Chains A and B, each alone.
Chain A
């Protein structure tokens, strides 16, 4: 009798865990066939880019600790001077397992920037806190800090839907 009760309770917990996982999993979204260069151009056009400059692969490695050659596409525009925080990163994953690595790299970069400007860079902190967006969907990762971050995110969402 006790065994039956235990059996019911454990499978009820298992079912609840399963439901929770399904609810928190964003479902499947097939990898987008959009041309990464087109996606980059759309997002770049919508961003405020006066304080950005294109980064070399070496610079991406230094700032994000990721190797661009491992991704299907990886471009970064980084701050023009040490006093700027505007940047725009677009990545197309070579495979889905890279998502966590990119998420961690972006988190670390944002933390590092906040730490650098905390307590004295009022404008920079405002941009980092209120005008930074990270999105990861359909095989693409997009991160930007710029005054038009929301518009850039919209442009990104729109661009990856186009074949």
Chain B
């Protein structure tokens, strides 16, 4: 089931809220779990079996780790943690990377691998977070299997995250409150996310796919840049839209998930960009890979190795393709240059110029990211910088500029904090007129999103495939 389908928005969600409200507090987690399992099974019953078995494996592993930690059996605990992480990783590798790995080493065997289970990258990372947090003593294991299963499978976050750390969510699973304020706030955030995804990302996506279908050998500089800009903004609106919806859903049911995006396109350096883009993934790699490897409190050489491991894994996490690895290495290179060579120099440059260049560097990175292979990425980048193709601006470029220019400008303005701060200022006003304006605004957003939902074949969330 997708969060952007009419059935989910107008039937599943209202029914879930109503049932949740009417259910006694003691059995609310069981109800949310049932709803989550129904949500998963709606898409594919096979996914339910696999996720169910993953839940059972990780539940008992977490209990055992808790037991061993209390008994101070360090060696045994390390072994159980290692096997737990290995089993989760094996599941992820099999479904996402097995064929890629075989082909990379030249084995041309064709496997009929089953479809990748829904949200596998997200639920395995959530499970690993749980095992690490329990093993480190950051949070005791959830003894109630219903509570644990809900942590892994909550329908708000299973498709595309955010990857909520176990130590952050476990307390909320044990105790949280659903209030009128939380439902209202959650619904508003959900509607904002829905409209970001359906209205803006959907429209930008159509333009991007049209550009990508153009003949690359005769593409002008303007068309290539427009295509890259369409994609960069589409990806932001698609994924941040989903994150808003997921955080909003959590809020409705009393959870408080941290934000996953913080206006990344106003970052003034790549380091800043990665503090604002897919924050939960960055935090996961920091806490469970980078810091255990030694983080930055090691020699410079070792630090570079640690960062390289993190960025190769970050690239690979997005998919089984060399383009993702190259994209990860591209960001690694930029971060290393910033960290070790340009740190003081960057401080002397005006912030607006830094923001502009950071944005351009991010767009170049997304070009590698959206390419199907390295040679396409290279050819596309060459067109962006004027090599080959049909000059600076041709009729095709003019067409995309006129048909997508206004949407592009709107999307750029919407990606800054301007609209959000204006909205929250109006929202805080208690006058009837201001509240009416806010209500009308959200009603309009929902209406517009519904029109897109009904009239269009909505593409699935881009990050769901990662």
Contact = CB atoms under 8 A, between A and B. Distances in A.
A160 B459 CA distance: 32
Nearest to B97: A97
Interface stretch (A42-50, A61-69, A122-130): A61-69
A5 to B, nearest CB: 8
Given A3-B64, A13-B56, A20-B53, A26 B112 contact: yes
Interface residues of A, number: 43
Contacts, number: 116
Contact of A3 (B68, B113, B116, B465): B68
Nearest to A114: B457
Nearest to B215: A58
B57 A14 contact: yes
Contacts of B308: none
Contact of B60 (A6, A24, A62): A6
B454 to A, nearest CB: 11
Nearest to A138: B110
**Chain B interface residue bracket vs A:** 35 or more
Interface stretch (B7-15, B98-106, B227-235, B292-300): B98-106
Interface stretch (A27-35, A80-88, A144-152): A27-35
B213 A16 contact: no
A20 B44 CA distance: 14
A117 to B, nearest CB: 12
A139 interface: yes
Given A10-B61, A65-B209, A96-B99, A17 B321 contact: no
B111 interface: yes
A119 B94 CA distance: 41
A17 B109 contact: no
Interface string B274-289: 0000000000000000
B49 A20 contact: yes
B24 interface: no
21 contacts: A3-B64, A3-B67, A6-B61, A9-B56, A13-B54, A13-B57, A14-B87, A17-B53, A20-B49, A25-B111, A26-B111, A29-B111, A30-B109, A58-B213, A61-B212, A65-B213, A97-B103, A108-B459, A112-B457, A137-B110, A137-B112
Interface of A: 2-3, 6-7, 9-10, 13-14, 16-17, 20-21, 24-31, 58, 61-62, 65, 67, 70, 93, 95-97, 99-101, 103-104, 108, 111-112, 115, 136-139
Interface of B: 46, 49-50, 53-54, 56-58, 60-61, 63-64, 67-68, 76, 80, 84, 87, 91, 94, 99-100, 102-103, 108-116, 209, 212-213, 215, 320-321, 372-373, 376, 457, 459, 465
